[in-house]
Structure 1
């Protein structure tokens, strides 16, 4: 199998397909960082997306047109977080949520009370000149913490903090 690469043209093509399929989504992860920064600052292995669970069928159909129709077996696969891929180089990391009556978004198992405000997914950025909805800078930083930072986190978090005047979290260096 080739190494997974999600280029900017690939990401834009997928985002365009999801928009055409009327999937409600927000870009997350590394591409959200670069979208918020308005430029690609590193290579990406996948496209992370938040979406309401009710849009999953539309998303699977849209991604299927690109050959992205296989679940990647991983130890951290959950019903609300799993990866689809094309068997060659395209991979999409899905994060499903359920809207709550109070406007918050529930993420994770029904037995756990983990929710976040819908405003966390109201950021706007660009990938290769294409405007996308994504996580906000503050939430992007927050979601890059809470676990031992990876090299990509050490790259992404300082860039976001510097650009958006956010405090650098403990464990990161400028």
Structure 2
């Protein structure tokens, strides 16, 4: 599994990586529930050099330009199929995490990245269930969000956010 191999490589290089996005959802659920187009990784900005070394060894060494890229969030790829959506943060003096620019960034609790889950039976650190739900909302929901959010809410007893209610299918009645 490519995601697990990339995470193991990061660990070997001392990168404190945390799984985010769809793989975080699946890790929290303990099984892969859908296909993934990338691996979201949260990592301390201070670990950027060993992170680049680890990914370069795996051939994931090209920046994939995307609208909205920032120095703290961009995509790396291997030129073929492996993509990593990188999210860099800094640890603040109070232990919270800062994500974004100095001018308009935001701080969030370190507990947001203190979840634990499994990818292919291997323990990984991932987003907490509550944070994963929050990260999949706040923008127009995509099909993957409509898949992931209800699964997390059901598994972890989190209230389903507005707009994620199950869509009732109209089943035509057959005449008797």
Aligned residue for 1:11, secondary structure, equals helix
Q: CA deviation at 1:166?
A: 0.3
Secondary structure of 1:89's counterpart equals coil
Using the TM superposition, give the Cα deviation of residue 19 of structure 1 relative to its aligned residue in structure 2, in angstroms.
0.7
| CA distance, structure 1, for counterparts of residue 141 and residue 115 of structure 2 | 23
Return 5+ residue gaps in structure 2 as ranges: 167-176
Cα displacement string for residues 53-105 of structure 1 (whole angstroms, at most 9, x for unaligned residues): 01011011001111100000111110000000000000000000011111110
The residue that corresponds to 2:64 in the other structure is: 72
Equivalent residue number for residue 126 of structure 2:
134
Q: CA RMSD in A?
A: 0.7
**Number of residue pairs matched by the alignment:** 166
- Which structure is richer in relative contact order (CA contacts within 8 A, separation 6 or more)? 1
1:1-174 maps to which residues of 2 (within 5 A)?
A: 9-174=1-166
TM-score by length of 2: 0.93
Which 5+ residue runs of structure 1 have no aligned equivalent? 1-8
> Which has the greater radius of gyration?
2
Q: Residues of 1 paired with 2:156 and 2:88: CA distance?
A: 27
Q: Which runs of 4+ in 1 moved over 6 A?
A: none
Shift of 1:113: 4.5
Q: TM-score, normalised by structure 1?
A: 0.94
